[in-house]
Amino acid sequence: LAALLSAAVFLPTLRFGFLPFDDFFNMNVNPFFRGDPTAEVSWILTTRALGHWIPVTWLTYSIDYVAWGRHAGGYHATNVLFHALNVALCYAVARRLLGLATPTLPPAALTAGALTAALAFGIHPLRAESVAWVTERRDVVSGFFFFLTVLAYLKAAEAERPRRRRWLGLSLLAFTASLLAKEITMTLPLVLVLLDLYPLRRFRWPAAIVEKIPFGLVGAVGAAVSLQGMATGVGFTSLDRLGLVSRVVLFAYSVVFYPLQTVLPVDVSPLHELPFRVDPLAPRFLASLLAAVGLTGLALVARRRAPWFAAAWAYSVLTILPVSGLAHAATILVADRYSYLSTLSWAMVLGGGVATLLVAPLGRALVVAALAGVILLLAAWGVLTAAEVRAWRDAESLWSAAVAADPACAQCHAGLAIALAQAGRLEPAEREATTAVVLRPDRGDHHAVLAAVLEREGRLDEAARSWMAAGRIHPHYVADALRALGLALLAHGRFEAAVRELRTARPLQPMLPVTPDLVRALNGLAIEQARSGHLAEAARALEEALALMPGSPEVRDNLIAVREALHR
């Protein structure tokens, strides 16, 4: 039931396309991935596309291609299917854990509690990014093997030898597959130790640790691969940009953000942008630091009287650790997708509360009222999730939702500007791009977005200035700046200066479409030189232009005319 309800919430995604950023690269223009499992097995096993080594996830995309071709709805259907399977597995894990935590619970209470936990996991608004975004397939696939790892481990805990070893082997195999889908599960060995402490209550030193050594080795390899991928992909955030104190503050913010958003999902967004400067004394960071310290202290004090809370808090911290900001990359503060597994313990707590409530010696009216409150909460989450899913329909709806969630997010405004420009709505695109530049003038890519919009509007002088601003911030945009300056000069009839800038730009960025502009500038320069009587110079300019674009009839005709004039 929980799996079906969760799938129903995400069914609208089957009508969605690929989003024009990571989805577009991964599925449409990726020069290596073609979806043939046999031909592409080498690439699938070795690629670090977008900074991640996730061969198991790539294999699922490959199977999708065989089944659906490039039809986006099929890829979305696979995401929904994996999520529904995960909800069913969550139910199985929850039922087992609740039974271990409170062995006296009757089957009906266990069923109700596990169903509540599975629904809380499956239809929560924080799930939208992981399920509705095709590129984030790695969350649902790694989650699938995560649940299998835990289930197999719980089976091993109650089995006798040699069955126990077989279950441990299956658990290790599932854990390895989980890491090969997404490295975020690297701390799962510590979660298994936590399960030994509660609710299994079977931790025995040193046997419990020795048993986890194979898991720890696999997890360590996953951590190393993840760190290497971050270094070679988007790159680590430098200590100058983000100091040690700031990283500790980000860690505290992360461990508090996800549980808080689980209870009150009021800050769900496709992008939570990292501030230009992380001020540890800013109210949200200071409050998070105090809350993290307070909750950790409470968990330690209550570990005997309320081991469920201590275990839930410890699980939450352990599973968010790989993406908590201590080793930081990219430009995000937190991300909804990181909650896919890290908030699972709080769903279990809610399920445990419902199971306990059903057998508590309370009045019927109070129990009914409490259960009604839980049902209303789950229904509200479902409604919010349905709304959040709609935001992932296309790029414009996505970035519009992000801007609405955080009007101070410069990257969100830049993303919306790109989406609007692609739709041909240049005036609102310019407004959004300008807002992005005003909010974060230090970001070269935002200046580049504004420059591209201005260029499409025909405002070449302003576009050149924006391109040059981008080039001053990041050398990647120098070629664009030179090309834009060349176009502006060309528009003003300053052909010689335009040729100079375009010649300089051409070798800097071979993929940049400079050649047609340079040919136009050379042709214009040649006409200008011929009119002033400098026929030899005009011929040389036209010869250069014809060498760049042999198929240009205008350049060829002009060269013939100049050569005839030279021989008169």
Q: Report pTM.
A: 0.85
pLDDT of 78 reads 95
User: Is residue 376 over pLDDT 90?
Assistant: yes
3-state per-residue secondary structure call for 35-79: CCCCCCHHHHHHCCHHHCCCHHHHHHHHHHHHHHCCCHHHHHHHH
Whether residue 157 lies inside any domain: the answer is yes
**Residue 341 — pLDDT band, cuts 50, 70, 90?**
very high
Average pLDDT across the chain, whole number: 87
Whether residue 507 lies inside any domain: the answer is no
Point out the least confidently predicted range of 119-133, 297-311, 459-473, 503-517. Answer: 503-517
Q: Is residue 491 domain-shared with residue 530, that is, in the same domain?
A: no
pLDDT of 486 reads 82
Dmax (CA) for the chain in angstroms is: 113
Q: Is residue 57 domain-shared with residue 36, that is, in the same domain?
A: yes
More confident residue, 207 or 411: 411
Whether residue 402 lies inside any domain: the answer is no
456-462-465 Cα angle (round to 5): 115
More confident residue, 116 or 548: 116
Q: For residue 456, what is the domain's CATH number?
A: 1.25.40.10
**Residue 523 — pLDDT band, cuts 50, 70, 90?**
confident
d(CA 170, CA 233): 32
Structure tokens belonging to residue 240: 């100058």
Domain end marker among 391, 426, 443: 391
User: Is residue 232 over pLDDT 70?
Assistant: no
**Residue 90 — pLDDT band, cuts 50, 70, 90?**
very high
Domain end marker among 333, 363, 391: 391
Point out the least confidently predicted range of 69-73, 112-116, 328-332, 383-387. Answer: 328-332
Residue type, 103: P
pLDDT of 230 reads 64
Q: Is residue 367 domain-shared with residue 420, that is, in the same domain?
A: no
Whether residue 401 lies inside any domain: the answer is no
Q: Is residue 436 domain-shared with residue 321, that is, in the same domain?
A: no
Q: Is residue 356 domain-shared with residue 433, that is, in the same domain?
A: no
**Residue 557 — pLDDT band, cuts 50, 70, 90?**
confident
**Residue 120 — pLDDT band, cuts 50, 70, 90?**
very high
Query: Which letter, b or e, does each residue of 352-385 get, where b requires 16 or more Cβ atoms within 10 Å of its Cβ?
Result: bbbbbbbeeeeeeeeeeebeeebeeebeebbebb
Whether residue 43 lies inside any domain: the answer is yes
Q: Is residue 334 domain-shared with residue 455, that is, in the same domain?
A: no
pLDDT of 361 reads 81
Inter-residue contact 114 to 25 (CB < 8 Å): no
Q: Is residue 497 domain-shared with residue 537, that is, in the same domain?
A: no
Q: Is residue 176 domain-shared with residue 27, that is, in the same domain?
A: yes
Number of domains in the chain: 3
User: Is residue 165 over pLDDT 90?
Assistant: no
**Residue 562 — pLDDT band, cuts 50, 70, 90?**
confident
pLDDT of 24 reads 65
Count of positions (residues) in the chain: 568
- Of 40-49, 182-191, 230-239, 539-548, where does the model show the most confidence? 182-191
Average the pLDDT over 514-537 and give the result.
85
Q: Is residue 363 domain-shared with residue 417, that is, in the same domain?
A: no
d(CA 75, CA 17): 9
Q: Is residue 278 domain-shared with residue 230, that is, in the same domain?
A: yes
Inter-residue contact 530 to 562 (CB < 8 Å): yes
Q: What is the pLDDT of residues 31-85, one digit of tens each?
A: 666 555 566 777 777 777 666 788 898 888 888 888 888 888 999 999 999 999 9
Q: What is the pLDDT of residues 486-509, one digit of tens each?
A: 888 888 888 888 888 888 888 877
pLDDT of 127 reads 95
Percent residues over pLDDT 70 in the chain: 92
β-bridge partners, 236: 329
Whether residue 148 lies inside any domain: the answer is yes
User: Is residue 526 over pLDDT 70?
Assistant: yes
Phi and psi torsions of 225, nearest 5°: -65, -40
pLDDT of 240 reads 66
Q: Is residue 145 domain-shared with residue 202, that is, in the same domain?
A: yes
Q: What is the pLDDT of residues 434-454, one digit of tens each?
A: 999 999 999 888 998 898 899
> Please, what is the end-to-end C-alpha distance for the chain in angstroms?
91
More confident residue, 312 or 236: 312
**Residue 145 — pLDDT band, cuts 50, 70, 90?**
very high
Whether residue 221 lies inside any domain: the answer is yes
CA-to-CA dists, residue 331 to 106, 241, 265, 266, angstroms: 49, 11, 22, 21
Domain end marker among 338, 366, 391: 391
Domain residues for the domain of 439 are 407-501
Whether residue 429 lies inside any domain: the answer is yes
Q: Is residue 497 domain-shared with residue 522, that is, in the same domain?
A: no
pLDDT of 163 reads 86
Inter-residue contact 193 to 151 (CB < 8 Å): no
d(CA 179, CA 52): 11
